[in-house]
């Protein structure tokens, strides 16, 4: 990866800023053309991007990148292109009686220049999804991808430069110092996806310029199993959500809450589900590796601490008769394909219950009553996602009313992020602001209020000097509001 020099970043930012100020009104045709260029980039170079992601992870199927990165982006692009003409229209609003015959409307204008600091776990999707909303809204965009995915970052930088002028859309490369520089620039909006700890630093840096931010910060997303749910179906969907990308997903189920006494039944159902999805792990082409040795060491340290403190750690084994593990030299990431783990008896003091796990480790906690599960969730920071499995509408609604989370999937995991009409974002420690679809378009717009006064306005009736006439007018207005 060739890092972009700080002076070059500042120069590109200034080009984008000047271009945005010179063209505050971006026509529909240009916005659509930019989105179509991005769509063409994905159509023509999707395989190259998937290969770059594979190179960065060591082991990650291009098919996983196709469904989790490229397809999500294609759906967002198609949705934006389909609805953009409606989104950009001024919105007429009803004028109060006391202001009539004036009229009012809201104009949706580009903010200007939007910065995006994206993570490594879905390096194509998370870099380009905010850019889709920002470009649809008429903005210029600068993306800084993660240094942990250097092949993908370099490929994105080259392809975006091929399809866009630098003052429209560009990708800059670098390490954490480059991210800190991006956060310090006076963007009109800044999007960051990553940990809560780094998100706080990004927000502080942006605040110096009064730059509004969208922070997607993840957290500990619970999966609640109700007493009457189909346990095998729930286990399969939880296993899929947990093990997609080897658990390195911001909305992966972080832990399970289930009625006490069902622990053994869930463990058996989860093992069967994992065996169906991944009969073996090391060398499996569809099972992603942990991104770096350091990240793998962190996961192993978590498990060692939990075991030392009394938790029961159950390592899932390959199905008998599965292909033997390949030699370590085959595939850079084979040695980092971590087998899934169930953890029972986890306690609040353990690291894996205090931090987002971000790996194929699943703690299972028992509860006596549904209210206890809700209380457990509410005792911690608000999660980015929440999952509920069951048949009772009353229990489902009790969970929805009793908890606050960024988003929810009922009787499934992850899928709410793919719904183009649902905003995606966090709340509290899991972030703020949302994007995707129209919500993303609006996030990157300035909604300018306009009141057009009529020549027949009676506003002068409340001008000074104040007196008896003013009192009569105000008495009338009080009756009208």
Exposure of 171 by Cβ count < 10 A (0-12 exposed, 13-18 middle, 19+ buried)? buried
Say if CB 230 and CB 209 are below 8 A apart: no
Question: How much is the pLDDT for 330?
Answer: 41
* pLDDT, the chain, mean: 95
Find, among 311, 307, 305, the residue nearest to 351 by Cα: 305
The contacts of residue 136 (CB under 8 Å, 6+ apart) are 31, 35, 80, 84, 87, 440, 441, 444
Residues 315-363 pLDDT 10s: 999 988 877 766 554 456 888 999 999 999 999 999 999 999 999 999 9
> How confident is the model over 19-29, as pLDDT tens digits?
999 999 999 99
Active-site choice (168, 170, 216, 445):
216
DSSP 254-323: -EEEEETT-HHHHHHHHHHHHHHH-S--TT-TTSPPPSSHHHHHHHHHHHHHHHHTT-EEEEPPPPTTPP
Assign 424 a pLDDT band (cuts: 50, 70, 90).
very high
Question: Distance from CA of residue 433 to its chain's centroid?
Answer: 10
pLDDT (tens digit per residue) in 98-124: 888 999 999 999 999 999 999 999 999
- The SS3 of residue 229 is coil
> Could you state, in order of their start, the residue ranges of all structural domains in the chain?
6-217+434-446, 222-422
Q: Residue 170: which H helix or E strand, with range?
A: strand 169-171
Residues sharing a CB contact under 8 Å with residue 328, sequence separation 6 or more, in sequence order: 334, 335
Nearest one of 431, 432, 8 to 178, comparing CA atoms = 8
Return the C-alpha torsion angle 387, 389, 393, 394, nearest 10.
-80
Report the half-sphere exposure of 74 (CA within 13 A, side-chain side).
14
Q: Based on the residue annotation, tell me whether 250 is a catalytic residue of this protein.
A: yes
> CATH homologous superfamily for 6-217+434-446?
Aldehyde Dehydrogenase; Chain A, domain 1 (3.40.605.10)
Task: State the pairing for strand pair 255-259/189-193.
Answer: unpaired
Cα separation of the two ends of the chain: 62
Cβ atoms of residues 212 and 37 within 8 Å: no
Per-residue DSSP letter, 10: H
Instruction: State the DSSP string of 349-401.
Output: TSHHHHS---SSEEEEEEESSHHHHHHHHHTSPPPSEEEEE-S-HHHHHHHHH
216 is catalytic: yes
Residue range 222-422 forms a domain whose CATH class is alpha beta
Return the pLDDT at 325. 64
Q: Of 229, 250, 263, 282, which is the active-site residue?
A: 250
């Amino acid at each position: 990866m060739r890092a972009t020099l700080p002076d070059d970043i500042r120069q590109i930012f200034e080009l984008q800023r000047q271009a945005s100020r010179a063209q505050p009104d971006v026509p529909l045709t240009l916005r659509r053309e930019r989105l179509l260029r991005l769509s063409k980039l994905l159509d023509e170079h999707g395989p190259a991007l998937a290969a770059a992601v594979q190179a960065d992870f060591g082991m990650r199927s291009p098919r996983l990148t196709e469904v989790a990165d490229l397809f999500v982006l294609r759906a967002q692009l198609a949705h934006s292109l389909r609805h953009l003409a409606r989104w950009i229209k001024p919105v007429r609003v009803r004028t109060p009686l006391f202001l009539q015959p004036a009229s009012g409307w809201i104009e949706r204008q580009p903010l200007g220049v939007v910065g995006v600091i994206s993570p490594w776990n879905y390096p194509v999707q998370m870099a380009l999804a905010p850019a889709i909303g920002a470009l649809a809204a008429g903005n210029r965009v600068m993306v800084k991808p993660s240094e942990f995915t250097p092949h993908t970052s370099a490929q994105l930088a080259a392809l975006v430069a091929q399809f866009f002028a630098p003052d429209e859309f560009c990708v800059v490369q670098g390490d954490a110092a480059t991210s800190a520089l991006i956060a310090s620039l006076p963007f009109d909006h800044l999007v960051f996806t990553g940990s809560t700890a780094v998100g706080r630093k990004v927000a502080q840096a942006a605040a110096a310029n009064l730059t509004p931010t969208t922070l997607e910060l993840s957290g500990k997303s619970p999966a609640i199993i109700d007493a009457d749910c189909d346990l095998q179906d729930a286990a399969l969907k939880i296993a899929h959500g947990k093990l997609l990308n080897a658990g390195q997903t911001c909305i992966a189920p972080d832990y399970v809450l289930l009625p006490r006494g069902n622990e053994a039944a869930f463990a058996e159902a989860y093992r069967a589900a994992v065996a169906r999805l991944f009969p073996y792990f090391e060398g499996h082409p569809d099972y992603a590796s942990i991104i770096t040795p350091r990240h793998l060491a962190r996961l192993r340290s978590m498990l060692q601490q939990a075991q030392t403190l009394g938790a029961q750690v159950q390592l899932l084994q390959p199905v008998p008769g599965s292909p033997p593990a390949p030699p370590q030299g085959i595939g850079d990431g084979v040695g980092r394909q971590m087998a899934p783990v169930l953890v029972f008896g986890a306690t609040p003091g353990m690291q894996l219950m205090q931090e987002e796990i971000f790996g194929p480790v699943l703690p299972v906690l028992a509860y006596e009553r549904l209210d206890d599960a809700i209380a457990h969730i509410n005792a911690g920071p608000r999660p980015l996602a929440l999952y509920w499995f069951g048949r009772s509408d009353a229990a489902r609604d009790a969970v929805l009313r009793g908890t606050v989370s960024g988003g929810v999937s009922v009787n499934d995991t992850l899928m709410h992020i793919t719904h183009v009409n649902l905003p995606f974002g966090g709340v509290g420690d899991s972030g703020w602001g949302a994007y995707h679809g129209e919500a993303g378009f609006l996030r990157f717009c300035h909604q300018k209020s306009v009141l057009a006064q009529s020549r027949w306005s009676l506003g002068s009736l409340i001008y000074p000097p104040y007196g008896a006439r003013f009192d009569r007018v105000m008495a009338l207005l009080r009756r009208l509001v």
